Structure formats: structure tokens, C-alpha cells
Amino acid sequence: MKTNWAGNVTFTAAQAVTPTTADDLRALVRGSNAVHVVGSGHSFSPIADTTGTLVSLAAMPDVFETDRNLVRVNAGATLAQLAPKLESAGLALHTLPSLPHITIAGAVATATHGSGARSLAGAVRSIDVMRGDGSVVELTSAGAPVSLGGLGVITAVTLETVPSFEVAQTVYEDVAWTTLLIQLEQIFDGAYSVSAFVDWQGGATLWVKHRVGDTQYTFPGHPADGPRHPVTGQPASHCTVQGGVPGPWHERLPHFKAEFTPSVGQELQTEYFVPRTRAVTALRALAEMSTVISPLVQACEIRTIHAEPQWLSPAVDRDSLAIHFTWVPNTPAVLALLPRLEEAIAPRPHWGKLFTVPPTLLAARYPQWDSFKSLLTEHDPKGVFRNDFLTRYFGSTASS
């Protein structure tokens, strides 16, 4: 893998390796001064880059062990690979990202969320981490799941599951911007998961994922007369089934089918989290910049996520509104715009997507920032897993 999925990050690693056994991985880690794991390559920030050895866990042995409502899985598996196994066991995850193509470890380590009330990190009960000396430890603290790859190589993840359930997905069109703002709380609390795609021209489309058997809100707008894609002009055949047709959780919670390229492909992404108490204020502030946002945006999705305890989750300790931008692939223009948006809404950004918030400001927005820095030093005292991204935000280790 020479670049990330979008092609906006070129990896600087001296070598890329795909180990097939735990012993191979251990020897690789022990023999390297700098290591970082890359998942599916779907991050838009340089979070997975390293000057040393770039490791893919895609070929590691399969792990799938259930114990009542817990499942232990290999970290390098994708969610698309995991979901059918859970379904066969009568189990489900409470959330799935919009695209099931990404790895479990990558989604957890960056607090990626999706259709559901929490991020995937919110389901983590423990992670197995291989440290720089080759030892493997099981970590259960709230600082461990969202680790940005800095604690070591995540080899296995134990997740809390729920009984399998069915979901029906309906798209509601022609929702006025003012209606969205006025009914914001009711809309986002009206079904198992709701996404509002806003066009910054005064309108919105609601993607409603309704858990079969639950009561739901009477949503504004009208049901679409056929399948839709979040980005105008893209083939709706790439998207999961809509039209209110019930189906298994893993075939409705993602927006995109695993067998197709998700979203657009040629794109950049940013996602900002603001307290839900400031949701309307933040959206109005962004609307005032619609003339500069509109030329660069392909889609903008708004969702909510519950407060969670993980130290570096953008939703730590507060119910949040997540504002996701799918940009045109114009990196200079997008990076020039982001500081204006960040100044207007003072967000916590998604770690795997583009942002420009300075380290000092970001540190002030996370109550456990210094505790996480200490955790990094404890588990990686020689800085084997420290890369430029982590050094920029958390500094270098004393002994590296």
C-alpha cells in the first residue's frame, strides 16, 4: 500500500509487511525502531504513516470466540467479514460505520461511529496489544480503545454484542432547513439511527434506519420514490436496501454495500463533533458560510452520538452532534477552508479525517489528554509506535 484509499496521503514507510502469524509479527516488532499498523487505508489524515515498517494485519489468523454477549475477534478483520459471523451466531453490533470495508482495529482506534448511538469503541471490553518488546497485554481501561495506534499493535478485540435484530431504512426527501433546526431533537431521537444530508442550499434529506418493532417519529418530508445515493449522481445500487424493506442489521445499518466502492472514491473527508447542546448554534454558524462550503462539498451528513467514556473519543463525556463533510479531491482548497469552520464551531475532530485544529486547542477539549500521554509513555517508552502524527499532538517519548 503506497497511498491511502483517497490518494491524498503517500506513505513514507521504508517497508510494508503483511505477517501471517503471531511469531512473525513479534519478530517484526522486536526488530524495528518504528512500526505502525495500517488498516484498510481509509483514513484521510496521516495517522497511520510511519518512516519505518508499515504493518497490515489482513493475513493474520482468524479469531472468532463468543462467550454469552461477548465476542473476541482478530483486529485486522473488516466489519464486513465479522458481521455475517455474528449474524450466524444470533448476535449483532450496536453500530456499524457507513462503510463496512474498514478494519475493526482501525474503527476502534479512531472512535469511528456510524448508524447507532455510540462509536464502535463504545462496545470494546478489552483489547490485546503487542508492545515494542513483543509482549502481549490485555488492556481494559477507558484510555486503551481509542489509541490512534500509539500503544502497540492491536491483535485482538473483545466486543460487547446485542441479540440480532432487523432494520428497515427509509429516505425522506424535501425537508426544509428550518424544519430540521426546529425539530432537531425529535428527528434525531425518532428512530434507531437518523442521518440528515444537508445541501447547504436550504434543504435536507433524512436517511432513517428504523429498528423493526420500535415505534418511530413521523418524519417531515416525503419518502423517496426509489433508491438514493448520498452523493447526487452516484449509483444507488452501491447502497444498502431502502424503501422500508426490513433486513438484517448488518445489511441496513451501513449506507454502502461491502461489494462496492463506498461513497464516491475520489474525495476527502472531515468530521467535526460539537456538544449536542450547541447543535443548532453550530449548524447556523456553518450555514452562514454556505457560499464557501457549497463549491467544495459533495455531501454533508449530520448524525448524533451519545456520550461515552473513552478518553480520546470525540464524544467523550458529552452527547454530540457529528457533522461529516465529503469534499471534492482538492486538498489545498479544503485545507484552506477548514480553519474557518473550526474557528466557528470549536469542534473535536475525527482523528482519521482532515482537520487543522492546533495541538494546544485540541488538548484543552479533552479532559483526559494528559492521562493518555502518560499511557502512551507507559506502553511505548521507546517510541516504537510514535509517528509524526502522534508526535505533533502528544510529543515525543523521553527515551525515544
So what's the pLDDT on residue 265? 64
Residue 370 lies in a domain: no
* Distance, CA of 197 to chain centre: 17
Is 151 inside any structural domain? no
Smallest CA-to-CA distance from 229 within 237, 221, 220 is with 237
Q: Model confidence over 111-150: pLDDT tens digits?
A: 999 999 999 999 999 999 999 999 999 999 999 999 999 9
Whether residue 160 lies inside any domain: the answer is: no
Q: What is the distance between the alpha carbons of residues 166 and 155, in angstroms, rounded to a whole number?
A: 30
The Cα angle at residue 104 between residues 268 and 58, in degrees rounded to 5: 90
- The residues near 200 (Cβ < 8 Å, ≥ 6 apart) are 286, 287, 290, 293, 294, 297, 300
Q: At which residue does the C-alpha cell 517510541 appear?
A: 383
Q: Is residue 104 part of a domain?
A: no
Burial class from Cβ neighbours inside 10 Å (0-12, 13-18, 19+) for residue 223 reads middle
88 within some domain: no
Using DSSP bridges, classify how beta strands 153-160 and 70-74 pair: parallel, antiparallel or unpaired: antiparallel
Report the alpha-carbon distance of residue 104 to residue 147 in Å, rounded. Answer: 13
Interatomic CA distance for residues 293 and 230, integer angstroms: 17
pLDDT in tens, 327-377: 999 999 999 999 999 999 999 999 999 999 999 999 999 999 999 999 999
For residue 232, what pLDDT is reported?
85
**Strands (DSSP E) along 265-361, which ranges?**
268-275, 297-305, 320-327, 348-349
Among the residues of 148-275, which ranges form H helices? 177-182, 184-188
**For residues 195 and 204, what is the distance between their CA atoms, to the nearest angstrom?**
10
Residue 320: what pLDDT? Answer: 98
Task: With respect to residue 289, please indicate whether it lies within any of the assigned structural domains.
Answer: yes
How many structural domains compose the chain?
1
- Contact between 8 and 47 under an 8 Å Cβ cutoff? The reply is no
* Structural domain contains residue 191: yes
In a domain? residue 274: yes
Q: What is d(CA 16, CA 5) in angstroms, rounded to the nearest whole number? A: 16
**Which of 87, 96, 239 lies closest to 165 in space, CA to CA?**
87
Mean pLDDT (the chain) is 95
Instruction: Give the global pTM.
Output: 0.96
The CA distances from residue 228 to 3, 172, 191, 242, 243, in Å, are 30, 10, 19, 8, 10
Please give the order of strands across the beta sheet that includes 124-130: 64-67, 70-74, 153-160, 124-130, 136-139
- Residue 168 has a CB neighbour count (10 Å cut-off) of 21
What residue ranges in 183-319 does DSSP mark as E strands?
A: 193-198, 203-211, 222-223, 247-248, 268-275, 297-305
**Domain of residue 337, residue span:** 166-357
Q: For position 400, what pLDDT does the model report?
A: 42
Look at residue 219 in the predicted model and tell me its pLDDT. Answer: 98
- CATH number of residue 332's parent domain: 3.30.70.2520
Q: In the sheet where 35-38 sits, what is the strand order? A: 15-17, 53-56, 35-38
Residue-level pLDDT at 233: 85
pLDDT of residue 262: 64
Q: What pLDDT shows up at residue 399?
A: 47
| Residue ranges for the chain with pLDDT beneath 50 | 399-400
